[in-house]
Structure 1
Amino acid sequence: MRLSRPFIRLPYEFDATRLAAEVDQFSKPRWMPHPSGLPGNSAIALISSGGGDNDSFEGEKRPTPHLAHCPYMRQVMASFGEVLSRSRLMRLEPSAEVSLHVDFNYHWFSRVRIHIPIVTDPRVIFHCGPERLHMAAGECWIFDSWRRHRVVNDSAGHRVHLVIDTCGSARFWRRVQTLVEDPAAFRMTHVPFEPGRTADLKTERFSSLPVMAPGECAALIEDLIADFSANPNNDSTLVTAYAGLLRGFAQDWRELWLLHGHRREGFASYRRLIERTREKLHPDRRALTTASNGIGVNAVFAQRVLNAALAPDARMT
């Protein structure tokens, strides 16, 4: 999600010592390797698709059995009062890093990641856009994942963060906006551990439809067109051609949706439209790039729209 600045600290403090004690119960085999194979990166799922050990963005999100053994983590997650998506413990081994990247798939268009450092060191540095900082244990941060970012652990110990994904309610974003516009409004709230309390969590149950709604499809495409149209380095003829291609996809998607909606009988038609459009993309994946972060438009369009327009079972039926 795009933010107005690379990093924003939220006004919460958590008991990092208590959180670290809950982390310590997990032996090394319990940590899942990074889905992209990044060395030194591993995670434990706390809220996931179906409540299992997976990295999926799809489907209903449920607490995992791991979270049942972490009462304070559950209280921390519930303290935001938001509907939560994928959430996990993320571990970075000594001298390892999260390499430079941008989060540009469908999930990240509307979700922000809350970071709560649990085990860390001043030599663990988070880079986002032109800025860099160390997130101290027990603090609470969000960052702009649309900017290029990376994390470097230059210490001799593991770094562990609790990370919580959410779209955020209007209440959440009003508070963020207040923090940005009026730093004097920053009033720290300490969230202590409450023994014996089982906190209620709200988790995503309907993160996507079987078939993307035409209004959402058009909005995602218009946002992307505005971004690559603003890049003065892009070829103007190709900009015009791509704008027509993407808008044409949105128009044809709406026509099919009005005919079939979510009915299974229409899945093959949706798939054919997706594949026809994919074949029309320029063979140079970076023929056009976004103005905001220099990402190739082909990749963004594929991840944000083409790969997300149909649910997994609809893609295969």
Structure 2
Amino acid sequence: MYQRSTPRSPDAVDKPYRFLRLPPLDEAAIDVATLARELEAAAIPWTSSQWKWHMETRFCVLRAGPDEPYPGASLVTGTGVDKPILARLPRLRELLDHGLPAPARLAWLGLSPPGARIFLHRDNTHHWDEHHRVHLPLVTNPEARLCVSGGFVHLPAGSLWAFNNSVPHGAINAGAEARIHLMIDLAPSPAVSAWFEAGEPVQGERAPDLLAELTQDPLKLLARGQLSDLELVRRLLMQ
């Protein structure tokens, strides 16, 4: 795993699972067909990832911190700031505010085109240590899978999942269609804990060939145009 070592937060939450399939919530709030149509109508402003493990994917921040000093920095500069795109996504904003056991403090959309990989890494800021990560797949295909500690799982559209982002994890979309997930960070609370306690732990399946894909050094796969961006390369080398 090609990543600098960083200390964990002393307030890190316990995540005693690889994957956790969470109980369904309000079906009206999580109507993925309606949410997917809302995304299509909103013309999402996708941004190329600024993290070396995610360079084959794109993202759109919905709620996070201030936007400086580089695109996507808001994912590590704070929480609770709604981005302008949310004004064009009222159903999604309603879900973030009222459709979960606690309001989402940080939320973004992740787009994995066909063939895209997210190479193995650990989410290593204190915020990520101190929050639970929840995925809601909105658009997907059976060959799109997440990997946690070597176990692979396909997350069906409309299902809700937590996974342990404090251990090595990645993803691969080996299908012919794009994959779009809504990612949400939730602070610990009694309601969130009760929801998680009702979840079903899932270990995932072993897939040695796919795992080999995700264990590569992402910097060795950068395109020539990316290598010419010295500020980007400097930032990637620090990760």
Q: Same fold (TM over 0.5)?
A: yes
Asked if 1 retains the 8 angstrom alpha-carbon contact of 2:107 and 2:183, the reply is yes
Say whether residues 1:67 and 2:86 are aligned partners.
yes
Asked if 1 retains the 8 angstrom alpha-carbon contact of 2:137 and 2:158, the reply is yes
Asked if 2 retains the 8 angstrom alpha-carbon contact of 1:2 and 1:144, the reply is no
Q: Please tell me the residue identity of whatever aligns with 1:36.
A: W
Asked if 1 retains the 8 angstrom alpha-carbon contact of 2:141 and 2:175, the reply is yes
Match of 1:142 among 162, 166, 174: 162
Distance in 2 separating the partners of 1:39 and 1:59: 22
Cross-structure match for 2:114? 94
Gaps of 5+ in 2: 1-12, 202-239
Cross-structure match for 1:40? 56
Asked if 2 retains the 8 angstrom alpha-carbon contact of 1:99 and 1:151, the reply is yes
Asked if 2 retains the 8 angstrom alpha-carbon contact of 1:100 and 1:149, the reply is yes
Q: CA deviation at 1:22?
A: 1.5
SS in 2 for 1:152: strand
Asked if 1 retains the 8 angstrom alpha-carbon contact of 2:121 and 2:169, the reply is yes
* 1:184-208 Cα distance to aligned partner (Å, 9 max, x none): xxxxxxxxxxxxxxxxxxxxxxxxx
Q: Please tell me the residue identity of whatever aligns with 2:65.
A: S
Closer, same or farther in 2 for the Cα pair 1:170/1:129, shift >3 Å?
A: same
Cross-structure match for 1:10? 22
Give the count of matched residue pairs.
181
Q: CA deviation at 1:104?
A: 2.0
Say whether residues 1:55 and 2:73 are aligned partners.
yes
Distance in 2 separating the partners of 1:22 and 1:104: 32
SS in 2 for 1:175: helix
The two structures have a TM-score, normalised by structure 2, of 0.69
Q: Normalized per residue, which structure has more helix?
A: 1
Max radius of gyration: which structure? 1
Cross-structure match for 2:149? 129
Cross-structure match for 1:120? 140
Q: CA deviation at 1:85?
A: 2.0
Asked if 2 retains the 8 angstrom alpha-carbon contact of 1:114 and 1:140, the reply is yes
Q: CA deviation at 1:39?
A: 3.1
SS in 1 for 2:106: strand
Fraction of identical pairs, as percent: 26
Q: CA deviation at 1:26?
A: 4.5
Q: CA deviation at 1:173?
A: 0.7
Gaps of 5+ in 1: 182-317
Closer, same or farther in 2 for the Cα pair 1:83/1:16, shift >3 Å?
A: closer
Q: Please tell me the residue identity of whatever aligns with 2:57.
A: N
